[in-house]
Amino acid sequence: QQQVKQSPQSLIVQKGGISIINCAYENTAFDYFPWYQQFPGKGPALLIAIRPDVSEKKEGRFTISFNKSAKQFSLHIMDSQPGDSATYFCAARVAGSARQLTFGSGTQLTVLP
Amino acid sequence: DTEVTQTPKHLVMGMTNKKSLKCEQHMGHRAMYWYKQKAKKPPELMFVYSYEKLSINESVPSRFSPECPNSSLLNLHLHALQPEDSALYLCASSQGLAGGPRTGELFFGEGSRLTVL
């Protein structure tokens, strides 16, 4: 019930291409869906987040698309750059839960120059 | 630069040693967390403190002992660890526990890389 499924496990994209990472969930009590970016040797950093009353959120080259009926959300990175190479985690939070976030399994993105 | 500071960045210890990891934040956050992260895996929650009181212990072995001396500091005391405890230990903070639009946003430190020999 708490699980968030993330795919693909790894992704290789050419510079300038579009990177797409998908996540799916079952628990309809989730009310907040952040994406974290983690570089090697660093902690995760919040990249962008969305709430279920919004179908899309864009910040620069990063866009979250949210499909409430399908219980899916995805991260799109437009004009992918080598500096975007990192591990990306989707996550979800149940309102009122002290445990905060349930993380997806992660996607290792490599953007080739 | 992260606003959650963790020390040390790297720690190597033997199975009989006692050591501590430290975490500090000056954002006025009232909730603090310890996570454990293995290579190529997502962070796993260990402990949650809210207003300096332990709120959640995710069935963590007693060889890990958390401490929250004040609202800005969080420690993780380590004793008699096993090689399988080698991991990246992440501290995080949030304004409060989940409930409001922003209270649940987690800010992570850069982590302490622990190696147990």
Q: What are the per-10-residue average pLDDT scores of chain A (113 residues)?
A: 88 98 94 93 92 93 96 97 97 79 95 96
Region B91-102: mean pLDDT is 72
Q: What pLDDT score was predicted for residue B105?
A: 80
CB contact under 8 A, A44 and B45: no
CB contact under 8 A, B42 and A103: yes
Q: Which residues of B touch A104 (CB under 8 A)?
A: 42
Q: Which residues of B touch A41 (CB under 8 A)?
A: 110-111, 113
CB contact under 8 A, A104 and B42: yes
Region B103-111: mean pLDDT is 84
Count each helix (H run) and each strand (E run) in chain A, helices first.
0, 11
Edge-first strand listing for the sheet containing B18-25: B4-7, B18-25, B73-79, B64-70
Using alpha carbons, list the distances in angstroms from residue B86 to A72, B44, B82, B110: 34, 14, 8, 16
- Identify the CA nearest to A32 among candidates A73, A75, A61: A73
Residue A23 has what DSSP assignment?
E
Q: What pLDDT score was predicted for residue A98?
A: 66
Q: What pLDDT score was predicted for residue A2?
A: 59
Region B33-38: mean pLDDT is 96
Instruction: State the count of interchain CB pairs (< 8 A) between A and B.
Output: 72
CB contact under 8 A, A99 and B50: no
| Among candidates A96, A100, A108 on the partner chain, residue whose Cβ is nearest the Cβ of B106 | A100
Region B61-66: mean pLDDT is 96
Say if residue B48's pLDDT is above 80.
Answer: yes
Using alpha carbons, list the distances in angstroms from residue A31 to A92, A95, A96, B38, B55: 7, 6, 10, 27, 21
| Among candidates B31, B99, B107 on the partner chain, residue whose Cβ is nearest the Cβ of A95 | B99
Q: SS3 for B83?
A: helix
Q: Which residues of A touch B109 (CB under 8 A)?
A: 43
Cα–Cα distance, A110 to B80 (Å, whole number)? 38
Q: What pLDDT score was predicted for residue A33?
A: 93
Region B15-41: mean pLDDT is 93
CA-CA-CA-CA dihedral for B57, B61, B67, B68, to nearest 10: -20
Q: Which of the two residues, A3 and B90, has the higher pLDDT score?
A: B90
Q: What pLDDT score was predicted for residue B70?
A: 92
| Among candidates B33, B41, B105 on the partner chain, residue whose Cβ is nearest the Cβ of A46 | B105
Per the prediction, chain B carries an average pLDDT of 91
| Among candidates B4, B40, B48 on the partner chain, residue whose Cβ is nearest the Cβ of A99 | B48
Write the pLDDT tens digit of every residue in B66-87.
999 998 999 999 999 999 999 9
Q: SS3 for B2?
A: coil
Q: What pLDDT score was predicted for residue B2?
A: 59
